């Protein structure tokens, strides 16, 4: 394979809902470029893309597949992605390193829910988008309805470049408005270019007039030409169209029937005319420095994908952001600050790899057996200090606890799950010391079920998913005073320590304690703060510890032991064993013995005094609350709102989105979000999506607190 220059490389992400035909379209691209000699078929499980065993079993794309093709002196780097929202990591990582998206639409279904979700990602990442209406040879195909759907979303920015002459099972011809010719397709991509039939001339001329005006609007010079001559030539139209694509002011619409390889080559030919200067990206470093796609600039690579392949090991996929990469070069991993040698570099078409000697800026390649380099890492020259921001993946939406059925597999399970996170950063693994569970976070139930499939079928580890516990917190709502004397005599030196303390809810911005009002009509407690130790707790909130000892009744050397005893109780709250938070403790009195007092005595006394006071201080259980944004079709709002009410949700706001969707902003307890992704998909027929982010801890209702206390008591009795 020859080495392509930076002005000969076209990087695109292949997007589309499940069933839109992305994998088949990719096969056609590889066939037209001579990378493969025979097109595979999804139902025969022999495509270059979807070569993973689980993808073949499910008959759909799950992971992104890196492919390449060649045509008219240009190299296409094609990243085929999944159409399921559960595997959004493939979409986002692919869009991050490509110049634009080729969005396939199923002509039978028009703009589907999955399309809307994908369009949100292209908009957020500001990626140019070209639409391909596929499956035009199927029954119930409706090209006109699909175009109407696109125009409802993009207005006149949705520009028809091609339309079918005879859509349906007999489909074999399109009118190409840009060329003003009819393209008639034959077996396996062969095409005949004909004059437009008289029956189609009026329609074609009407589309051409619209297209010329749209192209002119994207460039002031072209607009002047258009005003003077009332038309544009082919090159002028191409220039205006590509400028519109670049600025997301134009979304061209093409036709194809990929299963019969109709129309694919013409779309590739259209893209080969894209001026590199329009699409060549500028990537910013973490320090906001602009790095241009220049083969003569200092070398830098960005790792966007990691996978593990049988008989080969770990494969790292990268984009050459700047400079020229040659095999055997030593680079610095700017994320880990270690040296990596790229002893071999490849161009990749699925599991097929071709070794090359170098790659220039803008190209996409792969290497193997790097030591510590993973997805999101930057490799660059020793003194360049170029480091790119990590890909911004969405927060998890689904969580479950996972457990190896055979305890002897626990260590192996942890290692494999960590490797899976390297391959898919949207899989997040967390061992919760608090909950005593291994928690998996992902994008949905299907996402984690695929992970379980790999554990069982590939790694031979039997696992089960169990309901995850909720990380509750405990706190207090009022003042309480307590004391405890620890005394133990068992021959020889004994143990003695007595601690008097008062606890109070801690609030931000409050003054240091001075007087605690008596709650039973007795004498107020006046304290004199001599020293303060404020602990920022790892699980959130604070503990403020005050030394208010007067007269040296407790030696200051014992105060750290008292604090240690209190901290141990904070780690296992008296109510449900959950972490305690937002408490201030004032140790104001006590006693010690000249011989028997020691650190262990005061640690025990401090812990007991704190525990007794906690139970009398109006203890409350707090639960995690999440901000949840739900994007739902307007006609399903009622069902979603009813379900949210049953989940103790607080509706914060609602606003209309584009494309007939509504955005519901709400706050929902984590305890009510179990399997929500599955439920939401069920009640909206898969049309709604959501994201969630931790907000705060809030007190649980009284009846729920009683239930939690009973459940914890039963659990303790059982143990």
Residue intervals in the chain for CATH 3.40.50.300: 6-208+252-279
Residue 348 CA to residue 213 CA, distance in Å, equals 40
Residue 693 CA to residue 205 CA, distance in Å, equals 51
Residue 337 φ/ψ region, left for φ over 0, alpha for ψ in the -120 to 50 degree band, beta for the rest: left
Residue 479 CA to residue 688 CA, distance in Å, equals 47
Low-confidence residues of the chain: pLDDT under 50:
none
Stated as kind and residue range, the H or E segment containing 584 is strand 583-591
Tell me whether strands 542-547 and 531-536 are parallel, antiparallel or unpaired: antiparallel
Q: What is the pLDDT of residue 141?
A: 95
Residue 485 φ/ψ region, left for φ over 0, alpha for ψ in the -120 to 50 degree band, beta for the rest: beta
Q: What is the pLDDT of residue 53?
A: 80
| CATH topology classification for 6-208+252-279 | Rossmann fold (3.40.50)
pTM of the model: 0.86
Q: Quick one: which of 74, 533, 494, 480 has its CA closest to 267? A: 74
Please state, in angstroms and as integers, the Cα–Cα distance from residue 108 to each residue in 61, 105, 111, 140, 141, following that order.
20, 9, 10, 6, 4
Q: What is the pLDDT of residue 590?
A: 96
Residue 171 CA to residue 488 CA, distance in Å, equals 93
Residue 602 CA to residue 550 CA, distance in Å, equals 17
Residue intervals in the chain for CATH 3.30.230.10: 474-618
Residue 142 CA to residue 109 CA, distance in Å, equals 8
**Assigned CATH for 283-380:** 2.40.30.10
Strands of 364-427, DSSP E: 364-368, 378-380, 398-404
Residue intervals in the chain for CATH 3.30.70.870: 398-469
Q: What is the pLDDT of residue 670?
A: 96
Residue intervals in the chain for CATH 3.30.70.240: 621-704
Q: What is the pLDDT of residue 520?
A: 61
Residue 681 CA to residue 690 CA, distance in Å, equals 10
**Assigned CATH for 474-618:** 3.30.230.10
Question: DSSP secondary structure string, 61-86?
Answer: --S-EEEEEEETTEEEEEEE--SSGG
Q: What is the pLDDT of residue 310?
A: 72
Q: CATH number of the domain at 398-469, out of 3.40.50.850, 3.30.70.870, 3.10.20.520, 3.30.2130.30? A: 3.30.70.870
Half-sphere exposure of 43 (CA within 13 A, CB side): 2
Question: DSSP secondary structure string, 525-552?
Answer: EE----EEEEEE-TTSSEEEEEE---TT
What angle, 0 to 180 degrees and rounded to 10, lies between the N-to-C axes of helices 599-615 and 559-571?
50
Architecture of domain 621-704: 2-Layer Sandwich (3.30)
Residue intervals in the chain for CATH 2.40.30.10: 283-380
């Amino acid at each position: 394979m020859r080495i392509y220059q930076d002005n000969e490389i076209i990087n695109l992400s292949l997007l589309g809902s499940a069933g839109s035909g992305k994998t088949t379209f990719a096969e056609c691209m590889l066939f037209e470029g001579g990378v493969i000699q025979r097109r595979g078929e999804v139902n025969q499980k022999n495509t270059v893309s979807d070569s993973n065993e689980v993808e073949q079993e499910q008959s759909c794309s799950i992971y992104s597949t890196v492919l390449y093709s060649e045509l008219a002196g240009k190299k296409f780097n094609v990243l085929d992605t999944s159409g399921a929202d559960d595997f959004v990591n493939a979409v986002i990582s692919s869009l991050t390193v490509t110049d634009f998206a080729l969005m396939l639409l199923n002509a039978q279904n028009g703009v589907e829910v999955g399309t809307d979700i994908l369009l949100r990602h292209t908009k957020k990442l500001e990626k140019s988008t070209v639409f391909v209406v596929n499956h035009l040879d199927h029954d119930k195909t409706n090209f006109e309805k699909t175009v109407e759907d696109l125009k409802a979303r993009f207005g006149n920015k949705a520009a028809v470049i091609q339309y079918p002459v005879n859509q349906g099972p007999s489909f074999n011809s399109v009118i190409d408005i840009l060329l003003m010719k009819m393209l008639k397709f034959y077996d396996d991509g062969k095409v005949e270019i004909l004059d437009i039939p008289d029956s189609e001339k009026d329609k074609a001329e009407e589309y051409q007039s619209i297209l010329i005006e749209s192209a002119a609007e994207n460039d002031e010079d072209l607009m002047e030409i258009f005003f003077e001559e009332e038309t544009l030539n082919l090159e002028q139209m191409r220039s205006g169209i590509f400028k519109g694509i670049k600025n997301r002011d134009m979304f061209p619409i093409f036709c194809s029937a990929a299963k019969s390889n109709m129309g694919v080559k013409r779309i590739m030919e259209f893209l080969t005319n894209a001026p590199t200067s329009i699409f060549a990206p500028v990537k910013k470093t973490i320090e906001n420095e602009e790095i241009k796609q220049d083969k003569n600039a200092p070398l830098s690579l960005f790792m966007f994908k990691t996978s593990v392949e049988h008989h080969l090991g770990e494969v790292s996929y990268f984009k050459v952001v700047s400079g020229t990469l040659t095999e055997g070069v030593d680079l610095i991993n700017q994320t880990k600050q270690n040296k990596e040698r790229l002893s071999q570099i490849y161009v990749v078409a699925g599991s097929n790899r071709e070794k090359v000697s170098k790659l220039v800026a803008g190209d996409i390649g792969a290497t193997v057996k790097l030591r510590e380099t993973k997805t999101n890492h930057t490799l660059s020259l020793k003194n360049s200090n170029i480091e790119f921001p990590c890909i911004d993946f969405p927060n998890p939406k689904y969580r479950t606890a996972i457990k190896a059925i055979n305890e002897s597999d626990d260590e192996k399970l942890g290692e494999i799950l960590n490797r899976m996170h390297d391959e898919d950063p949207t899989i997040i693994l967390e061992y919760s010391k608090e909950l005593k569970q291994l928690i998996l976070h992902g994008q949905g139930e299907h996402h984690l079920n695929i992970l379980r499939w790999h554990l069982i079928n590939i790694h031979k580890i039997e696992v089960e998913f169990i309901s995850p516990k909720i990380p509750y917190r405990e706190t207090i709502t009022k003042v309480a005073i307590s004391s405890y004397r620890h005394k133990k005599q068992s021959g020889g030196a004994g143990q003695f320590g007595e601690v008097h303390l008062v606890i109070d809810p801690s609030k931000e911005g409050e003054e240091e304690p001075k007087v605690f009002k008596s709650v039973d009509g007795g004498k107020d407690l006046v304290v004199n703060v001599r020293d303060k130790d404020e602990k920022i707790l790892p699980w959130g909130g604070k503990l403020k510890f005050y030394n208010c000892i007067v007269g040296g009744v407790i030696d200051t050397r014992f105060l750290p032991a008292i604090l240690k005893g209190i901290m141990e109780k904070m780690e296992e709250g008296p109510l449900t064993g959950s972490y305690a938070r937002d408490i201030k403790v004032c140790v104001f009195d006590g006693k010690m013995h000249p011989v028997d007092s020691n650190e262990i005595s005061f640690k025990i006394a401090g812990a007991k005094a704190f525990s007794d006071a906690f139970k009398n201080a109006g203890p409350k259980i707090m639960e995690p609350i999440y901000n949840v944004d739900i994007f739902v079709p307007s006609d399903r709002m009622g069902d979603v709102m009813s379900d949210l009410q049953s989940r103790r949700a607080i509706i914060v706001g609602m606003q209309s989105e584009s494309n007939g969707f509504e955005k519901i902003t709400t706050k929902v307890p984590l305890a009510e979000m179990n399997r929500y992704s599955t439920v939401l998909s069920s009640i909206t027929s898969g049309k709604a999506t959501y994201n969630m982010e931790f907000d705060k801890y809030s007190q649980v209702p009284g009846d729920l607190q009683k239930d939690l206390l009973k459940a914890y008591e039963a659990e303790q009795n059982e143990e």
